[in-house]
Chain A
Amino acid sequence: MILGQMNEDRLIKDSMRPKVRLVARLDVKNNYLVKGIHLEGLRKMGDPNIYATDYYNQGIDEILYMDIVASLYNRNSLGDIIKRATEDVFVPIAVGGGLRGIEDVRGTLRLGADKVTINTAAIKNERIISEVAETFGSQCMVLSVEAKRRPDAMGWEAYYDNGREHSGKDAIEWVRRGVELGAGEILLTSVDQEGTEHGMDFELISKVCAAVNVPVIVSGGCGGAPDIAAAALSGASAVAVASVLHYKKADARSLKEQTLAKGVNMRL
């Protein structure tokens, strides 16, 4: 490419639609990568680091580790996994599951995580959002929201403890409140769609993305490039993929190529 031919007007225009990130979501239980449906019925897949390294080599933009039993047993078993991951994975790493306070967050960042996602602890005491944002910067504080449609179809409710417990909070209001308190990013998981590969909850995604001006990572139900493209159109800054990658239905690079072909700006 001849530099002189590169048109700055095009770069300026492209920059109005920032690149959408593809995030590999690795749910971990007792040191194993697991995958369930609706966050339940877990299947054991293998060593999470082998998957993470594969995805890094395929060009994934970010890795998200979720210790999915930590909230139940009040511990975080991810330490060793994250520590090993940073040896050969040079993309951002987000970690969540069972983090209860500043010291848990500090420990997780020290192990090589770049940001933490917090759900249960924030629902129980929203002050943790401000504390983490003030201590480590809001870019570190990702509020994780597990949203489930209310049976009466009147919006969505925020769940916690990995989709098991309901908080009574309206998911959209809760996201708004989280950003007011200092959350620098939102991880939005649709419990209804999670693990199905049957498409994402685009209505939920649109509402949440319109409610706040921080980046939103959307998760739950992504079956491939058409879903990534639709999520991007609904306002998502990043799309988390699990089953599709874990079951090797597609690799990160081909997902990105197919999404790019649909007119969504992505890094190759």
Chain B
Amino acid sequence: MIVTIINYGLSNLLSMSRAVRNLGHEPVVTSAPKDVDKAEILILPGVGAFKDGMDGLSHLELVEPIIKKARSGCPLLAICLGMQMLFDESDEFGVTKGLGLIPGRVERIPDLNVRDERQRVPHVSWNGLYPPDIGFVDDPRSEGTEDNFGSTLLLGAQPGDEVYFIHSFEGKPVDNRHIAAVTYYGGRRICAIVSNDSVFGTQFHPEKSGAVGLNILKNFLSLHKSPS
């Protein structure tokens, strides 16, 4: 199966391609709107600044094709800056509009932790993934279950499994139902995975997160439906 990876000039595309190939699929890296139009499954990677990312997508006339594709039910996985671009807007260098596929906004990680002590930003760390409803003590799920998170992306993952984060901004969904996993930094929750129908976003880098990350990618790629 062909996995379409969107190139808008701002990512380590080789690592993503290699991860896709490692899982037995064929990556196609493209900047062409027509390739996005006919894609069966899409990955939107990204590192760097929000405005540069959105400018890159606009310049290549990719904004509308991506939105259209995502709304049509084509599985889309957006990573790091890509995930942030799924939101309505970001504070980074003034307010910039995003793709609007996940209601909410992107804000800077505070310089102080909950004890008002200085914390390091960017958040660069391997950090654990936890179900968003972990605070509820009556959770019936237990060890031995494949589905600990209630998300396709995290089938087979255990709460606390670690993935690689590197970011200064965080996405804040308006609707808690769009949060598929969280992590914790400086005493606060940070949204680690968003999902909305066939649209997924990971704040961390699955292609840089060892076996746990590759499993997340594999779960995503399993959403591919052969064209009928």
B100 close to A (CB within 8 Å): no
Which residues of chain A have C-beta atoms less than 8 A from B210's C-beta?
A: 56, 59, 90-91
Asked if B18 and A18 make an inter-chain contact with CB atoms under 8 angstroms apart, the answer reads no
A69 to B126, CA, bound (A): 31
**A interface residues, tally (CB under 8 Å):** 48
Expressed in whole angstroms, the minimum distance between the Cβ of B34 and any Cβ of chain A is 24
A153 close to B (CB within 8 Å): no
Beyond A21-B126, A90-B207, whether A137 also contacts B134 by CB under 8 A is no
| Interface-side segment among B67-75, B161-169, B173-181 | B161-169
Beyond A19-B125, A90-B210, A114-B12, whether A3 also contacts B159 by CB under 8 A is yes
Which residues of chain A have C-beta atoms less than 8 A from B120's C-beta?
A: 18, 213-215, 237
A16 to B127, CA, bound (A): 12
B148 close to A (CB within 8 Å): yes
Which residues of chain A have C-beta atoms less than 8 A from B159's C-beta?
A: 1, 3, 6
Expressed in whole angstroms, the minimum distance between the Cβ of A191 and any Cβ of chain B is 24
Which residues of chain A have C-beta atoms less than 8 A from B123's C-beta?
A: 18
Which residues of chain B have C-beta atoms less than 8 A from A112's C-beta?
A: 12, 14-15, 18
Which residues of chain A have C-beta atoms less than 8 A from B140's C-beta?
A: 4
Interface centre among B48, B113, B114 (most CB of A within 10 A): B48
Interface 0/1 of A46-83, CB less than 8 Å to B: 00000000001001010000000000000000000001
| Interface-side segment among A7-15, A30-38, A158-166, A240-248 | A7-15
New A-B contacts (20) at CB < 8 Å, excluding given A4-B138, A112-B12:
A1-B143, A1-B159, A3-B159, A11-B184, A12-B114, A13-B187, A15-B186, A18-B123, A19-B162, A86-B14, A87-B18, A90-B22, A90-B208, A90-B210, A112-B18, A114-B205, A134-B49, A137-B47, A215-B124, A237-B124
14 residue pairs bridging A and B, Cβ less than 8 Å apart: A8-B134, A16-B115, A61-B164, A90-B208, A90-B209, A90-B213, A90-B214, A92-B208, A110-B14, A114-B208, A136-B10, A137-B48, A138-B168, A237-B124
